[in-house]
Amino acid sequence: MSQGYIQEVFSSFQGEGAAIEGSCYGLRQIFIRFSGCPLALGVHGTKGCIWCDSPKSWGSTPKKCLVETKPGSQIFKEIENPVTSNDILNMVKNLTSKDLHSISFTGGEPLFQESFLEKTIELLKLNGYNIYLETAFTDNFEYLEKIAENLDYACVDVKDRTAEAALNWEKLIEQELLMCKILKNSGTKVFAKTVITKSSKDEDFEIIARNCGEIGVPIVIQFVSPTAGSKVEKPTWSQINNFTQIAGKYLPADKIGISIQMHKAVEIL
């Protein structure tokens, strides 16, 4: 029986994305936050994105998992890790509400726990749930192709250089854009999300936008949400205005959007 490590499971609303194909922005989801992130564990020579909003999920084997007791209650109980795919199914059934749209696998990095993720997705699909994957990295492209047939929606976080997620930024985004291509070719409704800051550069974003245009994947430009004590600054309106017009050189208007982290703005999970 497949087992894995989960940080938390809860019901809320997708707070990232825009009015583009693949986005589930504003829709009710059950979030399954996986533990472990290869970008934070030195795969690309860094200690993780400098503005990561879930650093608690970097650890690979937490002893406890927090599970919401009722949809939207924000009341949690602790259970022991690791959990099984059947455990996840039971949690999801308990949190299923009439307005549920899909199940979000987020992290950390869900693709870090390959066997557990695959079995859990298969089980949830057999029980009629739609699947939404939030991911930033894998270099196991054969694995991604294998599970993609069971994915309905996907968001690939294509890292801006200012995230400092890799010493070799060009190689990282090449891998992330290949992930977008694999998912699109599988029939998954996928989009790229790029978080930008005041330090983000036109020329870097243009590389991402041009590649998204070449593979026909929509792009969402997201304002960074600085954490307490962070020196990271939000982008200016001038930057947002300019970046969307850069994207317009490579993508049609209905494949370009901007996003803030809505769930943080309205203070929900």
Q: Encode pLDDT of 44-54 as tens digits.
A: 777 778 877 77
| Measured CA angle at 172 (ends 169, 177), to 5 deg | 120
The structure tokens 């490590």 sit at 5
Residue 1: what pLDDT? Answer: 64
Structural domains of the chain, ranges and CATH numbers in brackets: 3-192 (3.20.20.70)
pLDDT at 56 over 80: no
Q: Confidence class of residue 269 from pLDDT cuts 50, 70 and 90?
A: low
Mean pLDDT of the chain: 93
pTM summary value? 0.94
> 53-67, 110-124, 161-175: which range is least confident on average?
53-67
CA distance 161 to 247: 17
| Alpha-carbon distance values, 158 to 127, 132, 217, 263 (Å) | 31, 17, 12, 21
Q: Encode pLDDT of 191-236 as tens digits.
A: 999 999 999 999 999 999 999 999 999 999 999 987 766 788 999 9
More confident residue, 170 or 232: 170
CA distance 76 to 70: 9
CA 110 to chain centre: 9
Q: Encode pLDDT of 19-44 as tens digits.
A: 999 999 999 999 999 999 888 766 77
Residue 256: what pLDDT? Answer: 98
Please tell me which of 170-179, 222-231, 255-264 the model is most confident about, judged by mean pLDDT: 170-179
